[in-house]
Structure 1
Amino acid sequence: MTGRLIGVGLGPGDPELMSVRADRLVRRAATVAYFRKAGRAGRARTLIDGLLRDDVEEIAMEYPITTEIAVEDPAYNAALSAFYEEVAADLRARIEDGEEIMVPCEGDPFFYGSFMHLYTRLKDHVPVDVVPGITGMSAAWTASGAPITWGDDVLSVVMATLPEDALARTFAETDALVVMKIGRNMDKVRRALRQAGKFDRAWLVECAAMAEQCVMPLAEAEGRRVPYFSIVLVHGQGRRP
């Protein structure tokens, strides 16, 4: 089989933070498949705008509309599962016909990304390559101007979609924090950080390594409506020489 699927990590948003290998694969791709919401260009596609061949074939994989379904509702997972099955089947057929398909991914393909759902459905049937990328959280703590961990610090990456009591418990038990998927959960994250005694040390980083990057102490962001690409950080204070 000559066809294959390639998941390419683009990094956090700055083109200069894309790896040499990722840049080469993007520029040579004959077929590119990317995820997007209906009516949107898609962040991954936007990041490679101007890098693609003039004759590239584009496959837009548009998410089903699930915003009216609660995340905990089984119907939400069912809708996404059916979507991933459908697009994976389409890509598999193309690859089995000898096509090489590049899937651009924000950050790293194996870190909370949609590409993972293609990977698990296709890896046992067609050749699949994965190119790692710099994660958004790495760009975020770099933008904050301070190391995220020292010495024996334990770093926890936590989804803000968890229940508030689970957030507060995890926040209290760890040394350094990266909180993702903030969105509508910001007030819950604030309350959990206060319960854990870490609110005053928390930082908000919006759109790390992108043109619209903004960094501030979380205490200065009361009432602020944050964009999708936002991360809350609490830096570790562990052992150091």
Structure 2
Amino acid sequence: MIQKNKEKRGFLYGIGVGPGDPELLTIKAHRLINECDILAYPAPEVGEGLALEIVRPLLKNVTEFLPLRLPIAVSPFPAQRAYDQAALLLEVQLEAGKTVAVICEGDPFFYGSFMYLFERLSERFKTKIVPGVSSPMAGAAVLKTPLVSRNEVLTILPGPLEEADLEQRLLNTDAAVIMKVGRHLPKIRRVLRHLRLEHCAHYVEHATMHNQQIIPIENLEAQNVPYFSMILVRKIKSQLTSGVV
């Protein structure tokens, strides 16, 4: 059962809800979400957001919801102020002795919005992190392609990196997952083309969801793609040293 704090203050859970398919929620995440007093979720300025969409089919006992208006991708409102305001909303509930579950896509501590709330609240309130299936794992699964094996090195790269930095890091790894593609797609494609790695790179969008797309980079025609898309690049070092490229 949920750890109901006997003290005045409540308990804060950061719960990863996985990449999109509700059935990929862990048993623990499912239980805690349905036992909490308040379900808090990150949401854009308008609408509900992906995290709540993922768990909605599994909700049974939740009666109180708390939307946290946080910056999603490239947002017009200041990030730090938004997280400060969200932390204050949670603080009110925690001071009242409530058990609050904050859900987020993927894993809370892997590019997760919850980490910024954790920084603001963890010293004053009891917290627990429930890991979730992260998008690189989901991407490899839907591609049916292992990311790395044996002593190979996997590198996670954020799309907003500078072009030269992105290129150098790709040169020094066996496989990579490039996250947060969005408006950075043209830059990423230039780097892959320059390194002659396009043929071993795949674009993945909405992995495990009904609108999932998997496209070899060489065949990708779109110029504008969602922020939460990714590109998986496999066997980089062997491709660069074998004379294949």
| Cα distance in 2 between the residues matched to 1:175 and 1:34 | 36
Asked if the contact 2:73–2:227 (Cα under 8 Å) also holds between the matched residues in 1, the reply is: no
Q: TM (normalized to structure 1)?
A: 0.89
Deviation for aligned residue 1:32: 0.8
Task: Report the TM-score when normalising by structure 2.
Answer: 0.87
Cα pair 1:203 1:232 within 8 Å, conserved: yes
CA distance change for structure 1 residues 211 and 63 in 2, over 3 Å: closer, same or farther?
Answer: same
Measured after TM superposition, the shift of residue 186 of structure 1 is: 0.4
Q: Which residue of 2 aligns with 1:122?
A: 121
Superposed CA offset, 1:221-240 (max 9, x none): 0335322331100113789x
Q: Counterparts of 2:23 and 2:75 in 1: how far apart (Å)?
A: 37
1:96 alignment partner AA = E
Structure 1 pair 66/11, CA: closer, same or farther in 2 (3 Å)? closer
Change (3 A) 1:54 1:26: closer
Judge which range, 125-134 or 46-55, deviates more. 46-55
Q: Please, which moves more after superposition, 223-232 or 163-172?
A: 223-232
Whether the aligned pair in 1 keeps the contact of 2:160 and 2:180 (CA below 8 Å) is yes
Give identity over the alignment, percent: 35
2:51, 2:29 → 1: CA distance? 13
SS at match of 1:27: helix
1:47-85 deviation line (CA, Å, top 9, x unaligned) = 11133346611111113699576xxxxxx7xx2112211
Segment drifting more, 229-238 vs 197-206: 229-238
Conservation of the 8 A alpha-carbon contact between 2:38 and 2:62: no
Residue 7 of structure 1: which of 4, 11, 14 is its match?
14
Distance (Å, rounded) in 2 between the aligned partners of 1:236 and 1:65: 32
Task: Using the TM superposition, give the Cα deviation of residue 197 of structure 1 relative to its aligned residue in structure 2, in angstroms.
Answer: 2.8
Q: Which runs of 5+ in 1 are unaligned?
A: 70-75
- Tell me how far 1:155 sits from its aligned partner: 0.6
Aligned-partner SS, 2:141? helix
For residues 54 and 223 of structure 1, what CA distance do their matches in structure 2 show? 42
Q: What secondary structure sits across from 2:152 in the alignment? A: coil
The verdict on how the C-alpha distance between 1:80 and 1:43 changes in structure 2, with shifts beyond 3 A counting, is same
**Is the CA contact 1:151–1:238 (under 8 Å) kept in the aligned structure 2?**
no
Q: SS state of the match for residue 197, structure 1? A: coil
CA 1:223 to 1:66, structure 2 compared with 1: closer, same or farther past 3 Å?
closer
Which deviations, in whole Å up to 9, do the C-alpha atoms of 1:136-192 show, x marking residues without a partner?
110001111111112221111001101111111111111101001000110100011
Distance in structure 1 (CA, Å) of the matches to 2:56 and 2:72: 25
Tell me what 1:107 maps to. 106
**Deviation by residue 1:82-108 (Cα, 9 ceiling, x = unmatched):** 221122122123212201111111110
Which consecutive unaligned segments of at least 5 residues does structure 2 have?
1-6, 239-245
Aligned length: 231
- Equivalent position of 1:89 in the other structure: 88
Contact 2:12 2:101 in 1 (8 A): yes
1:49 counterpart SS class: helix
Contact 1:149 1:238 in 2 (8 A): no
